[in-house]
């Protein structure tokens, strides 16, 4: 709740963009709490922030946990930050109980998971895992025109007092706690989700270039109106993406019109496509059909389709999945296995180390919205399962 005051917006929401002053304030609060239990702080060139509690065996690979601290522009108080705070709480509980594990336990706050200020999301975990070089997104700009590389350099300059660590490393295991962001646990009346994997995501942008013209004089039949072609394109994509089973997630959620003034016909429209499915083959087929679908639908504009993000569905590792299930059982929590509808930084750790996640219920399944809510009891139950799992994994 203290962290939720940093970037608070009406309706109990949070707007804390990555690499913003609010992001730094939240990180400094985390560091202050970590210092109280003598944990070590470090940061890498992607601005991923690590809090380490040493184990008895300095040669053993650490167990990694954590999530992210940035939010959506109209986000809630729990998405991401819960997993970081739960990880820190785990370290504090071990500290208070005088328990020292064999392996070190590290809590990470990944940079820019949301992709709200800079798309795509998960830049920090993608950089750390070697999925893409950290310079990949240098020229991505936020709504104010600030380049990602410049925002990152500014952040690292302001955090220059923190010890640096290299990107990567191979942890013994990675376990991320998170709110479900969906309705399944609440509907089932259960405490804990033992996450079995993450559906795949593909992100695209479509740019339609027509010609701006005077809204009063240009005959409608002679226009190259990018708004009207967007209508045609999205209508055709709705057909392509229609799924009677309602498993496929197709979203057009960002639209940028140029010049975006009421009495000049739109000369250019750029819109985004977010497409997700747990079946990699379906996701491949639907995503690959986007370009031809848009090109067939538009009437007057030039079309540019770009893909910005392509994450295949992943299955989590039995070591972690079974550890979480056993921890829930031992703690007396009710639990079920389920896949994640949202993508998470965990997705990018999968190729490097045994990975898993633990979910707690989201009220009404609402997330990316100020109304996002999980009760203190639900959050505490998830944290207890996290601590038990970390201790089991860290020995």
Among 2, 217, 332, 376, interactor with its own copies by CB under 8 A? 217
Q: Show the binding pattern over residues 280-319: x = contacts its own copies (CB under 8 A), - = does not.
A: ----------------------------------------
Could you give the CA distance from residue 269 to residue 138 in angstroms, rounded to a whole number?
Answer: 24
Cα separations in angstroms, 90 against 100, 160, 202: 12, 27, 34
Is 254 among the residues that bind its own copies (CB under 8 A)?
A: yes
DSSP 8-state symbol, 62: P
Q: Is the dihedral of CA 185, 329, 63, 156 positive or negative?
A: positive
Is 220 among the residues that bind its own copies (CB under 8 A)?
A: yes
In 3D space, the residue among 320, 339, 315 whose CA is nearest the CA of residue 388 turns out to be 320
Could you give the CA distance from residue 54 to residue 279 in angstroms, rounded to a whole number?
Answer: 40
What's the closest the beta carbon of residue 23 comes to its own copies, in angstroms? 16
Exposed, middle or buried by CB within 10 Å (0-12, 13-18, 19+), for 329?
middle
Is 187 among the residues that bind its own copies (CB under 8 A)?
A: no
Asked if residue 393 lies in contact with residue 320, where contact means CB atoms within 8 angstroms, the answer is yes
Asked if residue 174 lies in contact with residue 346, where contact means CB atoms within 8 angstroms, the answer is yes
* Cβ distance to its own copies smaller for residue 101 or 125: 125
The window from 123-131, 203-211, 316-324, 379-387 that contacts its own copies (CB under 8 A) reads 203-211
Could you give the CA distance from residue 3 to residue 81 in angstroms, rounded to a whole number?
Answer: 8
Is 368 among the residues that bind its own copies (CB under 8 A)?
A: yes
Query: If DSSP codes are grouped into helix, strand and coil, which group holds residue 187?
Result: helix
* Cβ distance to its own copies smaller for residue 20 or 212: 212
The window from 24-32, 57-65, 82-90, 265-273 that contacts its own copies (CB under 8 A) reads 265-273
* Cβ distance to its own copies smaller for residue 219 or 332: 219
The window from 20-28, 208-216, 290-298, 379-387 that contacts its own copies (CB under 8 A) reads 208-216
Is 266 among the residues that bind its own copies (CB under 8 A)?
A: yes
Asked if residue 165 lies in contact with residue 173, where contact means CB atoms within 8 angstroms, the answer is no
Is 262 among the residues that bind its own copies (CB under 8 A)?
A: yes
What's the closest the beta carbon of residue 87 comes to its own copies, in angstroms? 22
In 3D space, the residue among 360, 380, 313 whose CA is nearest the CA of residue 178 turns out to be 360
Q: Which of residues 325-344 bind its own copies (CB under 8 A)?
A: 340-343
* Cβ distance to its own copies smaller for residue 181 or 355: 181
Q: Which of residues 117-176 bind its own copies (CB under 8 A)?
A: 119, 121
Residue 316 CA neighbour count, 13 Å, CB half: 31
Query: If DSSP codes are grouped into helix, strand and coil, which group holds residue 93?
Result: helix
Is 366 among the residues that bind its own copies (CB under 8 A)?
A: yes
Using CB under 8 A, list all residues that contact its own copies: 72-75, 114-116, 119, 121, 180-182, 199, 201, 203, 205, 211-221, 225, 227-228, 231, 234-235, 238, 243, 246, 248-267, 272-274, 276, 340-343, 365-369
């Amino acid at each position: 709740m203290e962290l939720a005051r940093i970037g608070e917006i009406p309706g109990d929401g949070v707007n804390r963009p990555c690499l913003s002053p609010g992001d730094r304030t939240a990180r400094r609060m985390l560091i202050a709490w970590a210092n109280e239990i003598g944990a070590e702080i470090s940061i890498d060139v992607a601005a991923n922030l690590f809090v380490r509690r040493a184990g008895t065996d300095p040669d053993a690979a650490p167990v990694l946990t954590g999530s992210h601290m940035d939010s959506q522009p109209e986000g809630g108080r729990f998405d991401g930050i819960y997993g970081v705070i739960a990880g820190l709480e785990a370290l504090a509980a071990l500290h208070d109980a005088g328990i020292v594990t064999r392996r070190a336990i590290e809590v990470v706050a990944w940079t820019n998971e949301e992709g709200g200020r800079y798309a795509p999301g998960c830049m920090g975990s993608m950089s750390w895992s070697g999925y893409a070089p950290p310079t990949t997104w240098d020229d991505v700009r936020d709504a104010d025109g600030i380049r990602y590389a410049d925002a990152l350099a500014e952040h690292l300059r302001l955090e220059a007092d923190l010890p640096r660590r290299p990107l990567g490393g191979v942890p013994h295991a990675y376990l991320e706690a998170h709110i479900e962001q969906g309705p399944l646990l609440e509907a089932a009346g259960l405490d804990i989700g033992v996450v079995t994997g993450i559906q795949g995501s593909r992100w695209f942008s479509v740019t339609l270039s027509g010609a701006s013209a005077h809204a009063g004089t240009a005959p409608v039949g002679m226009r190259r109106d990018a708004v009207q072609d967007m209508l045609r394109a999205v209508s055709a994509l709705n057909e392509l993406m229609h799924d009677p089973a309602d498993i496929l997630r197709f979203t057009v959620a960002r639209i940028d019109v140029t010049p975006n003034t009421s009495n000049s016909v739109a000369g250019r429209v750029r819109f985004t496509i977010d497409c997700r499915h747990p079946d990699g083959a379906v996701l491949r087929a639907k995503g690959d059909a986007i370009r031809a679908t848009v090109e067939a639908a538009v009437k007057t504009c030039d079309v540019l389709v770009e893909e910005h993000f392509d994450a295949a569905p992943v299955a989590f590792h039995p070591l972690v999945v079974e550890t979480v299930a056993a921890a829930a059982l031992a703690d007396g929590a009710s639990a079920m296995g389920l896949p994640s509808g949202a993508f998470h930084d965990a997705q990018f750790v999968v190729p490097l180390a045994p990975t898993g996640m633990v979910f707690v219920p989201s009220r009404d399944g609402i997330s990316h919205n100020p109304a996002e809510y999980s009760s203190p009891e639900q959050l505490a139950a998830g944290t207890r399962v996290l601590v038990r799992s970390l201790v089991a994994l860290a020995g």
